């Protein structure tokens, strides 16, 4: 039988499932996605609300991601970049730390900023040089430890780790303790050094939308939760059954472990985050930059204004403020406490802000302990059932796409 007559059933229409389907389709294999929710994208979706665009949790697309960039048409995503650096809220006020390789005019200001010592800044430059010269494959086999140990071993001062790395990488790993694998740290540090942190002008949801547009509408069934995987087939919650030539489970780690216990998928321990959106009459930052909490004292970890990058994120004359609170802590008066805290950052203008919506994302990122990421082929296989998704490589957009593509490649090889 030729590849063209083969049918692959894919459970989950997140980035991994979509990437897998697009690659299969290109190879002449018929993919059929069953997505449990009402839309594609999984953890990368955008909701319109009263003229605002609300990403389901603040996240960025790093435009140096190698496989994602090869797969996606970056031009039509109309990517808008954050400035390379950050504003750090300290008890003494806002300090600016810029990537001086990209914005050399900030060399003096960044060197003199009280966030870390001058020696720390030289260490950042050295790390940048080292990691830019290292391939992802080299990083994948490099000694692994917690990011905290890695930074200590690299000689960074406690002030630099506490005042910068905990909040900057806290916003990426969704944990300030820096217990995430140092391989993940090295990979993201390299990506930030080589490229830019961006948002598509019309929201992060444009990324899955673009992939879905490459498939025929009949290849995606929405509102179709799968409850059972059987040899060569699946069963939907509705009771409907489907048979195919291979089955791909492209769900999150916990669901994968429930659906395919025999494949040895590890049900993840999750990193959680809350993302609060506010409408403001003007941007409290006034530039495309991420502001971080450098005190470690409050609820807020990071703040940005997506409409400063892409005016499409807010109606004309208004600004969209995005605020991230890490972890599971969730007081009843969360919005009021966050606003009170941000008055300390931005002053009385915060009193005029209007709360739009809060996203509580319990399963945001699987915990990536040392030794768990960047290992294996990027998927698992058990009797014709392939497990794919970010938990099989790295918890990121790149990791999900990498996993989806490797899964499709393996299936095509198998069919041939
Ligand atoms: C708040 C937040 C911030 C992040 N920040 C970044 C960032 O800045 N940069 C970055 O690169 N990455 C970031 N990430 C990580 C990135 O978004 C994920 O790693 C990636 O999207 C995971 O894709 P996936 O396809 O593996 O899984 P998912 O997106 O979880 O997709 C799985 C899909 O399977 C579906 N599904 C589940 N169970 C079933 C079932 N039984 N039947 C049918 N369908 C089912 C789900 O509805 C979902 O659509 C962030 C994630 C979050 C949530």
Could you give all domains of the chain from N- to C-terminal order, each with its CATH number?
3-44+205-269+376-415 (3.50.50.60), 46-81+198-203+270-366 (3.90.660.20)
pLDDT in tens, 351-366: 999 999 999 999 999 9
Are the C-beta atoms of 57 and 361 separated by less than 8 Å? yes
Residue nearest to atom 26 of ligand 1 (CA): 389
Handedness of CA 60, 64, 69, 74 (dihedral sign): positive
Residue nearest to atom 50 of ligand 1 (CA): 59
Ligand 1 binding residues, C-beta < 6 A: 11-17, 34-37, 42-44, 57, 59-60, 225-226, 250-252, 255, 273, 361, 364-365, 389-390, 395-400
Rounded to two decimals, the pTM is 0.96
Question: Is the confidence at residue 182, as pLDDT, over 70?
Answer: yes
How much distance in Å is there from the Cα of 284 to the middle of ligand 1?
30
Candidate of 9, 13, 14 to mutate for ligand 1, largest count of ligand atoms within 8 Å of Cβ: 14
pLDDT in tens, 316-346: 999 999 999 999 888 899 999 999 999 999 9
Two tokens, residue 176: 């300030």
Two tokens, residue 195: 């490229």
pLDDT in tens, 92-119: 889 888 776 666 666 556 666 777 788 8
Are the C-beta atoms of 18 and 211 separated by less than 8 Å? yes
Confidence band for 376, pLDDT divided at 50, 70 and 90: confident
* Residue ranges of E strands in 256-412: 270-280, 290-293, 300-304, 319-326, 354-366, 380-382, 385-387
**CA 400 vs CA 67, 68, 156: distances in Å:** 10, 9, 31
- At 3 the pLDDT is 58
């Amino acid at each position: 039988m030729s590849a063209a007559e083969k049918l692959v059933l894919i459970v989950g229409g997140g980035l991994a499932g979509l990437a897998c389907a697009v690659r299969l389709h290109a190879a002449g294999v018929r993919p059929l996605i069953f997505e449990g929710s009402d839309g594609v994208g999984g953890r990368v979706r955008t909701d319109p609300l009263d003229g605002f665009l609300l990403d389901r949790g603040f996240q960025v697309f790093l435009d140096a991601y190698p496989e994602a960039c090869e797969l996606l048409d970056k031009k039509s995503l109309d990517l808008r970049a954050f400035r390379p650096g950050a504003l750090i809220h300290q008890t003494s006020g806002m300090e600016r730390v810029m990537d001086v390789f990209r914005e050399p005019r900030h060399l003096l200001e960044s060197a003199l900023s009280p966030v870390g010592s001058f020696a720390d800044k030289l260490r950042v430059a050295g790390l940048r040089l080292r990691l830019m010269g290292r391939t992802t494959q080299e990083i994948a086999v490099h000694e692994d430890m917690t990011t905290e140990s890695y930074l200590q071993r690299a000689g960074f001062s406690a002030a630099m780790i506490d005042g910068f790395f905990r909040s900057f990488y806290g916003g990426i790993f969704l944990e300030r303790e820096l217990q995430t694998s140092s391989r993940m740290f090295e990979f993201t540090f390299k990506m930030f050094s080589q490229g830019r942190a961006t948002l598509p002008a019309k929201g992060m949801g444009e990324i899955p939308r673009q992939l879905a547009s490459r498939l025929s509408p009949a290849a995606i069934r929405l509102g179709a939760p799968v409850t059972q995987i059987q040899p060569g087939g699946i069963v939907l919650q509705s009771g409907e059954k489907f048979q195919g030539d291979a089955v791909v489970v492209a769900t999150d780690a916990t669901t994968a472990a429930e659906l395919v216990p025999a494949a040895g998928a590890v049900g993840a321990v999750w990193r959680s985050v809350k993302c609060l959106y506010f409408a403001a009459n003007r941007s409290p930052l006034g530039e495309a930059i991420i502001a971080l909490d450098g005190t470690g004292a409050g609820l807020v970890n990071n703040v940005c204004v997506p409409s400063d990058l892409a005016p499409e994120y807010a109606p004309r004359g208004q600004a969209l403020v995005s605020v991230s609170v890490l972890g599971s802590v969730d007081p009843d008066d969360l919005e009021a406490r966050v606003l009170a805290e941000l008055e300390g950052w931005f002053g009385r203008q915060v009193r005029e802000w209007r709360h739009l919506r809060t996203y509580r994302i319990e399963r945001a990122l699987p915990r990536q302990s040392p030794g768990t990421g960047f290992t294996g082929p990027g998927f698992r296989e058990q009797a014709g059932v392939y497990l794919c998704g970010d938990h099989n490589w790295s918890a990121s957009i790149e990791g999900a796409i990498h996993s989806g593509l490797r899964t499709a490649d393996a299936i095509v090889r198998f069919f041939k």
